Structure 1
Amino acid sequence: MNYKLDLSGKELKVEISNLAEQASGSCFVRYGDTEVLATVVMSKYEREEDFFPLTVDYEERYYAAGKILGSRYIRRESRPSDEAIITSRLIDRTIRPLFPEILKRETQVIVTCLSWDRENDPDIFGLIAASTALSISEIPWSGPIAVVRIGRLNDEMIINPTYEQRERSDLDLVLAGVEKEGDILINMIEAEGTEIPEEVILKAVDFGKPYLKKIIDFQNQIVKEVGKEKIKIETLPQDLKLEKEMKGFLGERLEKAIFQSNKTERFEDLSSLKEELISYAEGKYPGEGKYARDLVKENKSSFLPSLPLRVSSVFEKEIKRLVHKNIILKERRPDGRKLDELREIGCQAGLLPRTHGSGLFCRGQTKALSILTLGAPTDVKLLQGMEIIGEKRFMHHYNFPPYSTGEVKPIRGPGRRDIGHGMLVEKALLPLVPSFEEFPYTIRIVTEILSSNGSTSMASVSSSSLALMDAGVKIKRPAAGISIGLIQNKDGQYKLLTDIQGPEDHYGDMDFKIAGTRKGITAIQMDVKIEGITKEIFKEVLERGKKARIQILEKMEEILPGPRPELSPFAPRTLTLQINPEKIREVIGPGGRVINEIIAECGVSIDVEETGKIFVTAEKEEAVKKAIAWIKNITREIKVGEVFQGRVKRILNFGAFIEILPGQEGLLHISRLGRRVERVEDILKIGDVVPVEVISIDEQGRINLSMTL
């Protein structure tokens, strides 16, 4: 069955078929000639876990773009690209809050891009497809959700802009929402922009909401016609007796353990208390036996988690209840701060002696160290994927080692979270980095999280800004990041928390990351654990975020008010030279002979553009200047009548080729040697330096010389 919706002048087409008939739900979504397939499957069995086992995978297919890529010996898709990982996380963060808390069946969502038209990004339509597939399936889920991308060109908002429009837009905002009681709640936001004022972000959200409503109504129509009846998940047996006894055992000790400022002490106290609680329960109900069977029978349930898991669940619920109660009723945070109070901030710049730039940003027990390296234009990252083939000159990589949380874990490659956080910081800083024309360097920043107690990605924005300025990169303005949290009860009462950490993050209802400068916002990422937030809360978050951002920037500017005037003495030096494009072949030489000679002789790297712009990079400026002078000599226009001290390079029967400038040779005919000779070798030998004059240059640029005495 086919369903169509006009969306911003283009047709959004949803096809429900039985092609993936063994999945719990599936659908094809097409917009333009971009088409995706979403499938959802839920296991029949409960898993004994204290979390919802959801997996979301976005799969790029090279055939969708008509490409054959990958290693020459493999020629197929392998590990997902960074862009695919970001899309997977985007879908996951949007759909996850709408699953019931009690669901413990393994669930997998796979979105596959089947066709890509080079105009419409599949990520938005992959999310719509995932929502539709979940909505029509038997899987319990309180969707549908809707999503749009919003751009801004010449102060005008655009829905689902093309790639070309996004290149010219100063805002790229992905907005997702869910309908509740006739209103659209904001479920997820991810945005990047060129220092966008808060009021423009609000305007974009208002602009997008009617489109979200339209897409939700469209999906509801499909569900009404083809949707399956939802499976009723058995409620886990409510062990009221156990809950009462566990709460009685904990008494006031749990609240005391939660509400302390030091994360390590809090973690140790809570872990010890939890172990003590489980031991008490196991002693109280040895082997459970008849008690467990009666509990299952009483609740008409076929599944009963183990006693330690039930005790752990009671423990976690009680922590969440106490955190919510204290914050909403008493405005009491675990570490004693006011609701809008930042943790203690510390900054340093230039703390590593041999790196090109470094910055340390500390906020409470969260500590981020960023290290910047400058490279030549040829050090860019090459991008090859379904959507992108190109180069990247500004990179940010994020490392989250196990010691940052006091844990012991194997160290492997970057995970989805590491890649996602790294890309978020990259988006936050990219609008501030000078263009390649202004600053012809490749820039790589690596952030090492030394200690973590919440909001490490936003700390990375600040530490990376310090590293950029320490390196002498002329960024427009420094940027800082902050996370705003939300605690909300069932009655709608809520409190916003500035600079969330520890239990506020884990047991809270929202993590709203905002990065930007004094002038405006450069990046936003919002995750919720509830259905969504109202526009009023959203507006308040932006206001709170701006206030905190300015406070952080003031602290940073005390340490380093702006970029250093000079690059680090250990950074490479790059100089540029513009030559006539017709002279490029002379710089390259036959088979690259000339350019390779310059590189080897001067110890430089050289990048030549088709426009005739040449970039020369080396560790020492003297080497760069030597290479530049060499290239200038090669490409300079030689005039008739000029005299040179040339070096004999080759001897032939009819004359000798004399190098008058590096890479430029002329012919000294035997008749122009100054006196009559039978053999050129009688007068000249290879390597001799002789005075010569340019007597003519023919139409092909060949130079004829005469020896001068």
Structure 2
Amino acid sequence: MSAEQFSAEIGGRTLTLSTGRLAQQANGAVLAQYGDTVVLATAVMSKEVRDDVSYFPLMVDYEEKLYAGGKIKGSRFMKREGRPSDEAVLTARLIDRSLRPLFPQHIREDIQVIVTVLSYDDENEPDVLGLIAAQAALAISDIPMDVMVAGVRVGRINGEWVLNPTVEATKKSDLDLFLATTEENTVMIETGANEIVEEDFHEALKFGRKHARPVLQLIADMQAAVGKPKQEIPAEELSVEVIEKLREKALPTFDEILFAEKKDDRKGALKRFIKQTVKEMTAENEELNGGMLAEELYKMAERHVSDEILAKDRRPGGRTLTEVRTLEVDTGLLPRTHGSGYFMRGETQVLTTTTLGSPGDQQIVDGMREEFKKNYFHHYNFPPFSVGEVKPLRGPSRRDIGHGGLAEKALLPMLPDREEFPYTIRTMSEVFGSNGSSSMASTCGSSLALMDAGVPIKKAVAGVAMGLVSNDKGDWKVLTDLQDLEDSDGGMDFKITGTRDGITAIQLDTKTHGLSDEIVAQTLTQARDARMHILDAMDAVIAEPRPELSPYAPRITTLRIPVDEIGTVIGPAGKQINEILDETGVDGIDIEDDGLVMITSRNAEAAEKAENWIKDLTREIAVGEEFTGEVVKVMDFGAFVELVPGKDGMIHISKLIPGVRVNAVTDVLNMGDEVTVKVLEIDDQGRINLGLMAKEGTPATELKVEGGSGGGDRGQRRGPRRDR
């Protein structure tokens, strides 16, 4: 069966969208190709309305198939793909956050978007392509949607903006911006950066939007050619009379309960009020839907807060629009962890720990792409008690993974180089209380904990969440340090992290059809001021990393050896390196491909012993050097003496006693003898020829062989080989 194809040149490569051949029973399906990366996106809407939800039920799944990268799973016991990796979860969230605000929010039919990577070329990342394919599948389907977005990636290499940089080019970029945008407005941002300044970041957004327009046009052309008519899904609404009655009951009460200082007071009072009002209204009219009444009352509360902010700059808790809540900062709370940082902003409370491990503790990430290792990772835990709820404890949710990934991205540019600080680093943020932006508190806590642990990060990093209130008239105001009821329809959650010198990470979600450039510019400026205020509070507690590591952290000694000597240190089947580990008692020895050796030990003496052993193994032996070593092997033609661990030289039988014929090597030397030798020659094959030295340090010309066959009385035999 043939497919309808639509193509455009985007960033110097051809973007092709096709439909009609695969997944024909989905409401919409699009195969997208960019380079040799190919993804399939499907969109399906249930025929059943869900009466048990009061939200828009969208599910977005993203799957990376191993066959896309030409790989078979390494496990001997499980060869098929398992649960999504953290990276796949983060990509699913990117696509979800880009699409969710663009649907009519009254829809209560389940909608599922599945993006499957079918081919991956190691050059063009499938995340941007996945968003484009998902939007195209929705566009040609009969599923209602208000507006469309396109996805682009923007990098900056040597000061020049780059559209959709390849995987290799991204490594040279100081910016990684994933942008979802309409023709004029920014809908979703996910960014990692190396201290980009606000003005430059704003320019990057404009560059991305400009180059997203041809993608939007391509999707629009496809929709016009093959798109299905959209379903009509009327919103189930309360009557004007019922809404007016709710308003009469609510407005006098809202002023009293919505602007209390504490979240629990606000939300508790609001919950009780809604419950009582619904009870009264349904008692008066049994035909009324209690769920719809409760949903409308909650929306009224959010709108009332927004209206008060727009009209009077009045916020819950009494803050100004640019005011950060009260801060509490501390370090060193836990005695046995390697580092800890405590950060509290308002009612959001996070304790972050740092744990230092050996290079061998790195996380190995093996999926569709080439295997790689992570030596820094941040984990985020959000227990139910942090918001006063009771829930069963499960594994990390998508939200947990997303928040952990954001704080991880925020700190990455500030971490020391691997050679300077070869430890594997894990930060873990425990959220003990939450009322707005626990991910930003986790970023601050991570910075504090790393400094407390003595990790030589380049600069402190802080983060803040910015909000927005707006109305249908076009009025809007940006809020610093977003909290509970301020995160409402017509709003945004714009999280920005950075140092005093620039931005390191951004994550934007919006509940609108996008933000204008004016709103983005105002947000960036306001967030910078807030970040400086937070950094001041953090610097007052710990301004620089501690000069010493925790006494409970392992110590790592580093040295560099020639690449061609790596095999010498490892030995056949790991024999040599295992011997070093066993004999010295160090915790681990890790060797990088570039010759960097990292010795992990909690005992300084053991580390020094292992270091000297490796230096001896890999040192270059020169002609003329003298060594005292043990005879480790006796052959008919000579004796082998260990000069340094793992490296032997040979004394030929003719060199045992110069000028004297020796009939048997054992007439002069035996296994275990300790002798002093001098390097006479190193041949082209690296073989070392030795001469035997007398005790006073001159060649052993004075030694005489007594008797015809024996070696004479050379005194007591030396003991066993020395402890290495």
TM-score, reference length from structure 1: 0.92
Distance 1:639 1:174 in 2: 56
Cα deviation 1:337-370 (Å, max 9, x = unaligned): 1111000011112222222221111111111111
Distance 1:587 1:33 in 2: 41
2:555 alignment counterpart: 573
TM-fit CA distance, 1:422:
1.1
- The correspondence for 1:420, drawn from 402, 407, 416, is 402
Q: Once structures 1 and 2 are overlaid, which stretch shifts more, 45-54 or 307-316?
A: 307-316
1:243 alignment counterpart: 243
Do residues 191 (structure 1) and 191 (structure 2) align?
Answer: yes
Q: Once structures 1 and 2 are overlaid, which stretch shifts more, 233-242 or 317-326?
A: 233-242
Q: Structure 2 regions of 5+ residues with no counterpart?
A: 696-724
1:202 alignment counterpart: 202
Distance 1:457 1:421 in 2: 5
TM-fit CA distance, 1:670:
6.6
Q: Is the 8 A contact 2:263 2:435 kept in 1?
A: yes
TM-fit CA distance, 1:572:
1.9
Distance 1:579 1:21 in 2: 59
Q: Is the 8 A contact 1:445 1:464 kept in 2?
A: yes
- The correspondence for 2:32, drawn from 29, 34, 37, is 29
Superposed, 1:545-560 pairs within 5 Å as: 545-560=527-542
Secondary structure, aligned partner of 1:19? coil
Superposed, 1:173-192 pairs within 5 Å as: 173-179=177-183, 184-192=184-192
Distance 1:6 1:593 in 2: 56
Secondary structure, aligned partner of 1:594? helix
Superposed, 1:558-597 pairs within 5 Å as: 558-597=540-579
TM-fit CA distance, 1:18:
4.4
Q: Is the 8 A contact 1:254 1:273 kept in 2?
A: no
- The correspondence for 2:320, drawn from 334, 338, 356, is 338
1:73 alignment counterpart: 77
Do residues 2 (structure 1) and 35 (structure 2) align?
Answer: no
Q: Once structures 1 and 2 are overlaid, which stretch shifts more, 201-210 or 55-64?
A: 201-210
Distance 1:365 1:208 in 2: 37
Distance 1:589 1:310 in 2: 72
1:302 alignment counterpart: none
2:234 alignment counterpart: 234
Q: Once structures 1 and 2 are overlaid, which stretch shifts more, 686-695 or 214-223?
A: 686-695
Secondary structure, aligned partner of 1:223? helix
Distance 2:679 2:8 in 1: 75
Distance 1:593 1:146 in 2: 56
Q: Is the 8 A contact 1:350 1:470 kept in 2?
A: yes
Distance 1:249 1:487 in 2: 24
Distance 1:611 1:434 in 2: 18
Distance 1:627 1:211, change over 3 A: same
Q: Is the 8 A contact 1:363 1:459 kept in 2?
A: yes
TM-fit CA distance, 1:397:
1.2
Distance 1:679 1:256 in 2: 107
Q: Is the 8 A contact 1:485 1:508 kept in 2?
A: no
Secondary structure, aligned partner of 1:428? helix
Q: Is the 8 A contact 1:696 1:705 kept in 2?
A: no
Distance 1:690 1:34 in 2: 66
Secondary structure, aligned partner of 1:168? coil
- The correspondence for 1:708, drawn from 694, 698, 723, is 694
Do residues 616 (structure 1) and 602 (structure 2) align?
Answer: no
Distance 1:589 1:59, change over 3 A: closer
Distance 1:91 1:243, change over 3 A: same
Do residues 448 (structure 1) and 430 (structure 2) align?
Answer: yes
**Aligned pairs, number:** 687
Distance 1:40 1:196 in 2: 37
Secondary structure, aligned partner of 1:472? coil
What residue identity is the alignment partner of 2:355?
A: T
Q: Is the 8 A contact 2:192 2:504 kept in 1?
A: yes
Secondary structure, aligned partner of 2:565? helix
Q: Is the 8 A contact 2:153 2:177 kept in 1?
A: yes
Q: Once structures 1 and 2 are overlaid, which stretch shifts more, 12-21 or 528-537?
A: 12-21
TM-fit CA distance, 1:559:
0.8
TM-fit CA distance, 1:693:
4.5
TM-fit CA distance, 1:245:
4.0
Q: Is the 8 A contact 1:146 1:216 kept in 2?
A: yes
Q: Is the 8 A contact 1:323 1:507 kept in 2?
A: no
Larger Rg: 2
Secondary structure, aligned partner of 1:12? strand
Do residues 312 (structure 1) and 294 (structure 2) align?
Answer: yes
Distance 1:653 1:409 in 2: 79
Q: Is the 8 A contact 1:404 1:450 kept in 2?
A: yes
2:42 alignment counterpart: 39
Q: Is the 8 A contact 1:510 1:529 kept in 2?
A: yes
Do residues 478 (structure 1) and 493 (structure 2) align?
Answer: no
What residue identity is the alignment partner of 2:611?
A: I
1:279 alignment counterpart: 279
Distance 1:584 1:220 in 2: 57
Distance 1:625 1:242 in 2: 80
What residue identity is the alignment partner of 2:216?
A: I
Do residues 626 (structure 1) and 609 (structure 2) align?
Answer: yes
Secondary structure, aligned partner of 1:252? helix
Do residues 660 (structure 1) and 649 (structure 2) align?
Answer: no
Cα deviation 1:71-110 (Å, max 9, x = unaligned): 2222121111222111110110011001112111000001
Distance 2:261 2:503 in 1: 30
1:301 alignment counterpart: none
Do residues 11 (structure 1) and 22 (structure 2) align?
Answer: no
What residue identity is the alignment partner of 2:213?
A: K
What residue identity is the alignment partner of 1:325?
A: D
TM-fit CA distance, 1:556:
0.8
Cα deviation 1:387-410 (Å, max 9, x = unaligned): 342111121111111121122222
1:529 alignment counterpart: 511
In percent, how many aligned pairs have the same letter?
A: 48
Q: Once structures 1 and 2 are overlaid, which stretch shifts more, 688-697 or 48-57?
A: 688-697
Secondary structure, aligned partner of 2:31? strand
Distance 1:117 1:464 in 2: 35
What residue identity is the alignment partner of 1:50?
A: S
Do residues 328 (structure 1) and 314 (structure 2) align?
Answer: no
2:522 alignment counterpart: 540
TM-fit CA distance, 1:178:
1.9
- The correspondence for 1:150, drawn from 135, 151, 154, is 154
Aligned-residue RMSD, C-alpha = 2.3
TM-score, reference length from structure 2: 0.90
Distance 2:694 2:654 in 1: 13
Q: Is the 8 A contact 2:275 2:294 kept in 1?
A: no
Distance 1:637 1:223, change over 3 A: closer
Q: Once structures 1 and 2 are overlaid, which stretch shifts more, 83-92 or 675-684?
A: 675-684
Q: Is the 8 A contact 2:377 2:427 kept in 1?
A: yes
1:645 alignment counterpart: 628
What residue identity is the alignment partner of 2:273?
A: L
Secondary structure, aligned partner of 2:98? helix
Q: Once structures 1 and 2 are overlaid, which stretch shifts more, 476-485 or 274-283?
A: 274-283
What residue identity is the alignment partner of 2:215?
A: I
Q: Once structures 1 and 2 are overlaid, which stretch shifts more, 141-150 or 569-578?
A: 569-578
Distance 1:218 1:253 in 2: 51
Secondary structure, aligned partner of 2:430? strand
1:599 alignment counterpart: 581
TM-fit CA distance, 1:70:
4.7
2:702 alignment counterpart: none
Distance 1:274 1:681, change over 3 A: farther
TM-fit CA distance, 1:23:
0.7
Distance 2:64 2:581 in 1: 40
Do residues 260 (structure 1) and 260 (structure 2) align?
Answer: yes
TM-fit CA distance, 1:215:
2.1
Distance 1:459 1:486 in 2: 19
TM-fit CA distance, 1:497:
0.6
TM-fit CA distance, 1:236:
0.8
Q: Is the 8 A contact 1:57 1:88 kept in 2?
A: yes
Cα deviation 1:468-489 (Å, max 9, x = unaligned): 2122222221111011100001
Distance 1:429 1:542 in 2: 19
TM-fit CA distance, 1:509:
1.0
Q: Structure 1 regions of 5+ residues with no counterpart?
A: 293-306
Cα deviation 1:34-88 (Å, max 9, x = unaligned): 1211110001121111111110011111111222225222212111122211111
TM-fit CA distance, 1:574:
1.7
